Amino acid sequence: MADLMRPAWAAIDLAALQHNVKVIRKLAGGKRILAILKANAYGHGLQRIAQALSEIDAIGVARVDEALQLRNAGVTRPIVLLEGFFDASQIPVLAASNIQPVIHNLRQMKELSQVDQLGDTLKVWLKVDTGMHRLGLEPDQVVSAYQQLLDLPQVNDHPVVISHLACADEPEHPQNERQIALFASILEQLPPSSTSLVNSAALLAQLAPQYDWVRPGLALYGVSPFATKTGADHDLKAVMNLRASIISVRQIKAGEAVGYGGYWIASEDTYIGIVAIGYGDGYPRHAPEGTPILINGNIYPLVGRVAMDMVTVNLGRRLSVKLGDTAELWGAKLPVERVAEAVGTIPYELLCNVARRVQLDYQ
Ligand SMILES: Cc1ncc(COP(=O)(O)O)c(C=O)c1O
């Protein structure tokens, strides 16, 4: 058994990914899909996920280095840089690699207009702030910015006009209606253009017209953006199964303490399992007592402090777990949404934080 023991790994279920794409395609009703793969494809591995999504129309990332990593890996599909270029020096790099920046402020407009000797022209996306107040031009700047971009010799096509909803994960929130109406009124002032508004939550809730491009991130990975739901409620399947081996099982007497600080004290005689995963792997250090961990089909509570390489689990008085068994920290049988709820965070953070030392096994 010992030779089968491994520290933390994540089994990445590519069949589940393909299933989720089908569900998304149906919801998208024939619109094009910009798959959001930033932050290492939400922890699932940028390159392999991009390669697995070979039928997807385009890929969205947040950083130039993520886009270049994909180009270097031979990915030829359109890549959209969601925050655009951070500095004018990046513009020729984007043009040379056919990476499409989102233009979201006047500084980027100016830098783009001033760059010369661009060997290749750029396709750009134009972001308008309809109420999130994070990125995007003001609604009254959009018409002239759109025209300026059209007139620039550096730009080769009509910009795709996009915005982002602040409250799509709360479908009843009045902010959604306001943003959707404002986006529609801005589009009325522009020549017919390609457009994009919805993320996973807006798509799953069918909150707004899909426009020409839908932009799912979380749903691709089989996870629900809604606080009270899991992916299964939308017929989605979890892609990441985060696992680790039980590397020690020990008997603890009532009154004995476990782990750093000794703050968890057994109230009765019990067995404790030591799982080979910790905050060094991205498992949240602040996970409280009772955070669920699945072993052999049963949920056990985490006890004691999360350490860098280990967590401790209360296996109870009657032992049905042995050294070398596998624990699931989240995945198909223990939704990451439930773990996020126990930890007081969102599933996005848990997935993105999975550390590079966690081996990704593609299945
Ligand atoms: C502009 C934009 N569109 C789409 C998404 C995808 O969001 P989600 O993962 O909620 O589908 C993101 C992610 O943050 C984003 O920044």
Mean pLDDT over each residue of the chain, to the nearest integer: 96
38 catalytically annotated: yes
* Catalytic choice (38, 123, 127, 237): 38
Token look-up 């439930």 returns 338
pLDDT in tens, 167-194: 999 999 999 999 999 999 999 999 989 9
| Distance in Å, CA 81 to ligand 1 centroid | 12
**pLDDT digit string, tens, across residues 285-298:** 999 999 999 999 99
| 61, 79 contact by CB (below 8 A) | yes
The residue from 204, 225, 246 where one domain ends is 225
Question: Is 260 in the active site?
Answer: yes
Q: Are residues 348 and 285 in the same domain?
A: yes
Counting from 1 in the atom list of ligand 1, the atom nearest the Cα of 127 is 1
pLDDT given at position 5:
85
Residues 6+ apart with CB under 8 A from 179: 130, 131, 132, 163, 165, 166
CA of 298 to the centre of ligand 1 (A): 34
CATH number at residue 332: 2.40.37.10
Alpha helices in 97-194, H assignment, sequence order: 106-114, 142-151, 174-188
Q: Last residue of some domain: 170, 204, 225?
A: 225
Do 221 and 184 share a structural domain?
Answer: yes
pLDDT exceeds cutoff 80 at 166: yes
DSSP code of residue 160: E
218 CA: nearest ligand 1 atom: 9
215 and 355 inside one domain: no
Domain end: 175, 190, 225, which one? 225
Query: Which pLDDT score is estimated for 1?
Result: 39
Which of the following is catalytic: 26, 110, 260, 333?
A: 260
Reported confidence tier of residue 17, pLDDT bands at 50, 70, 90: very high
CA of 1 to the centre of ligand 1 (A): 42
> Is 245 found in the same domain as 220?
no
Percent of the chain with pLDDT over 70: 99
Q: Whose CA is nearest to atom 14 of ligand 1?
A: 217
CA-wise closest residue to 150 among 161, 163, 159, 137: 159
β partners of residue 98: none
% of the chain exceeding 90 in pLDDT: 96
Compute the average pLDDT of residues 218-247.
98
114 alpha carbon to ligand 1 midpoint, in Å? 30
Examine the domain organization and report whether 61 and 160 are in the same domain. yes
Cα Rg, the chain, nearest whole Å = 23
Structure token digits, residue 239: 């892609």
CATH number for the domain that contains residue 45: 3.20.20.10
Q: How far is the CA of 276 from the centre of ligand 1 (A)?
A: 32
Does residue 18 register a pLDDT over 50?
Answer: yes
Distance CA 3, CA 146 (A): 61
Does the structure show a pLDDT above 70 at 3? no
- Is there a single domain that holds both residue 76 and residue 196? yes
pLDDT given for residue 2 in this prediction: 40
Query: Where are the extended beta strands (E) located within 89-230?
Result: 99-103, 125-127, 160-162, 195-196, 213-214
The predicted model gives 196-204 an average pLDDT of 98
Residue 286 sits in which domain range?
Answer: 2-8+238-362
Q: Is residue 213 domain-shared with residue 70, that is, in the same domain?
A: yes
Minimum-distance ligand 1 atom for the alpha carbon of 164? 1
pLDDT at residue 355, as a whole number: 97
Ligand 1 probe mutation, 132, 215, 220, 336, most atoms within 8 A of CB: 215
Average pLDDT over residues 126-153: 97
**Cβ neighbourhood burial of 146 (10 Å; 0-12, 13-18, 19+):** buried
Does one domain contain both 221 and 246?
A: no
Model confidence band, residue 52 (pLDDT cutoffs 50, 70, 90): very high
Output the CA 217–ligand 1 centroid distance in Å: 6
- Quick: pLDDT tens for 110-139: 999 999 878 899 999 999 999 999 999 999
Q: Looking at residue 128, what DSSP letter applies?
A: B
User: 139 lies in a domain?
Assistant: yes
What's the pLDDT score for residue 210?
86
Residues with beta carbon inside 6 Å of ligand 1? Answer: 36, 82, 164, 199-201, 215-219, 225
Let me know if residue 232 belongs to a domain: no
> According to the model, what pLDDT value does residue 302 have?
98
Atom of ligand 1 nearest to the CA of 199: 11
- SS3 label, residue 273: strand
Ligand 1 atom with the shortest distance to the CA of 102? 1
Count of structural domains, the chain? 2
| pLDDT at residue 118 in the model | 86
Residue 58's pLDDT is: 98
Structural domain includes residue 70: yes
Q: Is residue 349 part of a domain?
A: yes
pLDDT band at 252 (very low <50, low <70, confident <90, very high): very high
Residue 248 forms part of a structural domain? yes
Is 233 contained in some domain? no
